Structure 1
Amino acid sequence: MPLNVSRRSRPTLFVVLAAALVAGLSAFTPATPPTPTADSTGDPALARRLRLAVGDLPGQGFAAAAGDRLTSAQAAIGEASPGRPLTATTPQEIGSVTKSMTGLLFADAVERGEVTPATTLGELYPGLPGELAVTTLTELATHTSGLPRLSTRAQLRSLVTNLTYGNPYEWDTPGSLLSDAGSTWLRTPRGEFSYSNLGYALLGQALAVRAGAPYPQLLTDRVLAPLGMTATVAAPDPLPAGRALERAADGRRTTPWSSTGSVPAGIGVYSTAADLGRLAAAAVSGDVPGSAALAGWGWFPAEVDGRTLLGNNGATYGVQSSIWLEPSSGRWVAVTSPSGSAGVDTQTIAFRLLGIDV
């Protein structure tokens, strides 16, 4: 059953479907999947390894930062935009890699005594009725709240944006998230895993409410500034100078995603391969704020070829990003690309740079 929260008016399914048909017919133009140019920047040895790791994977360019507890390097291949080489310091959206930082904020808030793992949304939003009120922050952080990936409203909007490469989160605001969650059917019973951008948006905004600061400021003050991640910014206005041109897997240009409400899930957050490398290096050393989050709040374990990795991936219609580390060896890698993919090619590249061919 849907969660019991008052509903707001929404476009009807008929209107949205009609808009999707019109937008899809008008937006479709034949395109060619991009391939990396011969451009290389940064450390030559890593650039060569990166090109080998990319192989024949499509994309206009790929940037990487890689290292261990003692050394690091940065490099990029291909273009950021026509005629402009990509670098490890070229800004782009990072998508759901942001969730790893939201997880750090959650663990940090627990350490500060602002919340506990069992804190419910009802405690942070007094008067919230229904099942949503008893949803815990841990359920949101572990994707076990039962909420689907998108709210019903965003799901309807995605019928259009899947064709036009637009922004399915444009309508989200901090104030609309609770209403949207309350009128969205649970995808799975509570306690079962169901990946949810909506859940992470609620988590980050709830932490911001308890801290008394907007999420972008909270992220900067508690994670980005302490780690020296000066090139990472949430909900920037204007968008970062020198950012990469985003292209879909078929080569068409895409619209950057932005949202005042879904920022904690990774909507409208920009970074660079170099900055994500700083995050990975700090995480593998346990020097990140809220390091307890590495146990499963925004960070996923992966057992590959007998090796245990930890990390996350992000993607929009026009970008990909991955951050992975191996705690036992201290090795880490961050890969970004201003090109969409049918999967998440940056994860494949990250694993290959770590010596795992999958």
Structure 2
Amino acid sequence: MTAPIAREELASQVRRRLGARTRTAAATTVTADGITTAVIGAPEHADFEIGSISKGVTGLLYTDALSRGEVSSETTLGDLLPLGDSDLKTVTLASIAVHSSGLPSLPPAAQPLRGTLRLWRSGTNPYGETVDQLLEQARSVTLGSPRPRYSNLGFQLLGHAVASAAGSTYPDILRQRITEPLGLSTMHAPSSAAELRPSSVVGVSRSGRTMEPWTGAGIAPAGGIRSSIGDMARLARALLDGTAPGVTALDPVTTFTGPAVRIGAGWLTLSARSREITWHNGGTGGFRSWMGLDREAGTAVVVLAARSVSVDRHGFAMLADLTP
């Protein structure tokens, strides 16, 4: 159990780093000596949008499916999803997992510019598609050259393809293969705002305007998961000790944006202050998140903020502080 003084020290650090305008936030540190969590402005069990850290979770589900023999490095989207004669039917899951499939960030049919404008003007959720609507949009996508390119669409399709291989849905395999085995009672992927829980945190923009929650069955594998900081701490511990399903997703298999950054199944690895850090960040309309692990030192940090201001540098600095 975390010592109260340690928790207060962490809470003070979060307030100092994120500033007074970020009224709701949470952080955890994980070391060999234990786990410390702190939450400001919300109950301890409150769940936050973790944004694109969802891609890291989907990476775990993908490598877990590989270990189960449900998919292989040669499995394509067309093997698992009803994509018709679309170019996308030949894209391998392996190429998506390292963001080198040639898929765009989003399908043009989703009208991402219009969605972004609505987000800026009124805080509207730009990602409310069902899985069927996502697949309809994907069928019209023109595939680009297979080069490193960060793709939300890719991880949306990867998650739903892995679920299809298991004869399931993404929320169900998330529950069956990640949250239940690891005891993550608050982590979930709501398909609509109606599925939010009473403890779900409401996010705000940089200026403090309330933002709609980013819910939707389509976006779930790429950015639709919510979690409390306690569950993020438990996930970090399981990743460090190797008990998390699909933990080999953390292992880099190729370079991403130049030789300094490598990528596994969604997870990035880079050198920071002479340490190898495995990490992912996230951003939604009203939230920012960062999760990082120093696997050699056996330490981790997660920072969640209910305000759309980056927390990346704070996460890297806090993780560095854990290692002498």
User: Residue 187 of structure 2 aligns with which residue?
Assistant: 232
Report how far residue 184 of structure 1 moved.
Answer: 2.9
Question: What TM-score comes out, normalization by structure 1 length?
Answer: 0.79
1:97 aligned to 43, 53, 61, which one?
53
Structure 1 stretches lacking a partner, 5+ long: 1-39, 80-85
TM-score by length of 2: 0.87
Answering whether residue 178 of structure 2 is matched by residue 223 of structure 1, we say yes
In the TM superposition, residue 127 of structure 1 has moved relative to its aligned partner by 6.9
CA distance in 1 between counterparts of 2:209 and 2:82 reads 45
CA contact (8 A) 1:122 1:134 kept: yes
**Cα 1:41–1:196, aligned 2, differ >3 Å: closer, same or farther?**
farther
Corresponding residue number in structure 1 for 2:7: 43
Measured after TM superposition, the shift of residue 61 of structure 1 is 2.6
- Percent identity between matched residues is 34
Aligned equivalents of 1:71, 1:42: Cα separation in 2? 11
Partner in structure 1 of residue 209 of structure 2: 252
Deviating above 4 A after TM superposition, structure 1's stretches of 4 or more consecutive aligned residues are none
Does residue 274 of the first structure (1) align with residue 240 of the second (2)?
no
Taking the aligned partners of 1:225 and 1:116, their CA distance within structure 2 comes to: 25
Instruction: Letter of the 2:315 partner, please give it.
Output: A
Cα distance per residue 1:239-294 (max 9 Å; x no partner): 11122221111111111111121211122x21111111111111111111011111
Give the superposed CA RMSD.
2.2
1:309 to 264, 269, 277: 277
Structure 1 or 2, whichever has the larger Rg, is 1
Tell me if structure 1 keeps the 8 A contact 2:104–2:149.
yes
| 1:318-340 deviations in Å (ceiling 9; x for gaps) | 01111111011001011111111
For structure 2, which runs of at least 5 residues remain unmatched after alignment? 252-263
Deviates more, 1:89-98 or 1:250-259: 89-98
CA separation in 1, counterparts of 2:273 and 2:61? 31
In 2, the alpha carbon distance for the partners of 1:260 and 1:290 equals: 22
Q: How does 1:107-186 map to 2 (within 5 A)?
A: 107-125=63-81, 128-154=84-110, 155=112, 156-170=114-128, 172-186=129-143
* Aligned mate of 1:62, from 22, 25, 43: 25
Partners of 2:245 and 2:33 lie apart in 1 by 20
CA contact (8 A) 2:106 2:153 kept: yes
Q: Letter of the aligned partner of 2:134 in structure 1?
A: L
Match of 1:297 in 2: 265
Distance 1:41 1:106 in 2: 39
Secondary structure class of the residue paired with 1:100: helix
Deviation at 1:232, TM superposition (A): 0.8
Question: Which residue of structure 2 aligns with residue 349 of structure 1?
Answer: 314
Task: Report if the CA contact (8 A) 1:41-1:75 is conserved.
Answer: no
Letter paired with 2:209:
R
Name the aligned partner's letter for residue 279 of structure 1: L
